[in-house]
Amino acid sequence: MLGKDCLLDHVAIAVDDLEKAVETYEAMGVKFQEEREIIESQGVKTAFAQVDENAQLELLGAHGEGGPISKFLEKKGPGIHHLCFKVPDIEAKCKELKEKGFRLLYEEPAIGAHSCKVNFIHPKSTGGVLVEISQKMGEI
């Protein structure tokens, strides 16, 4: 537990075939929500499973060509794509991270899965892991 300022929200895994990956994780006992969300602006299709009181597992399939997931799959193959921390105030967190020298992908937060406000820290700035920060709208 990192404290209310920064909780693990989800671990995201890039997969070649979303429904096959859901089956694989369900065989392990992880129960996925029925809904699938397509985020056109990110070029992804997602499936979520709640794994504890805070954190979810997100499976990410490419939706269309040329998006970050299709590029990741081409280059690295399926595997862990990013970690996401939820924060209570994303603008304040982005400002703090920039002041500490982290390289953020967006000047302003974008809208991500579940209509959250999101931004990302570039993997070159974290030692090789893409880190998403997310603020749930109307929650936390």
Return residues touching ligand CMX (CB under 6 A): 12, 39, 42, 44, 58, 60, 68-69, 71-72, 75, 81-82, 105, 112-113, 120, 122-123, 128-130
Closest separation between CB of residue 114 and ligand CMX, Å? Answer: 9
DSSP track, 92-129: HHHHHHHHTT--BS-SS-EE-GGG-EEEEE-GGGTTS-
Per-residue burial over 126-136, b = 16 or more CB atoms within 10 Å of its CB, e = otherwise: eeeebbbbbbe
Structure tokens at 72: 């990741």
Q: Cβ-closest residue to ligand CMX?
A: 68
Closest separation between CB of residue 18 and ligand CMX, Å? Answer: 13
Q: Residue 21 or 27: which CB sits closer to ligand CMX?
A: 21
Closest separation between CB of residue 56 and ligand CMX, Å? Answer: 11
DSSP, collapsed to helix, strand or coil, labels residue 24 as helix
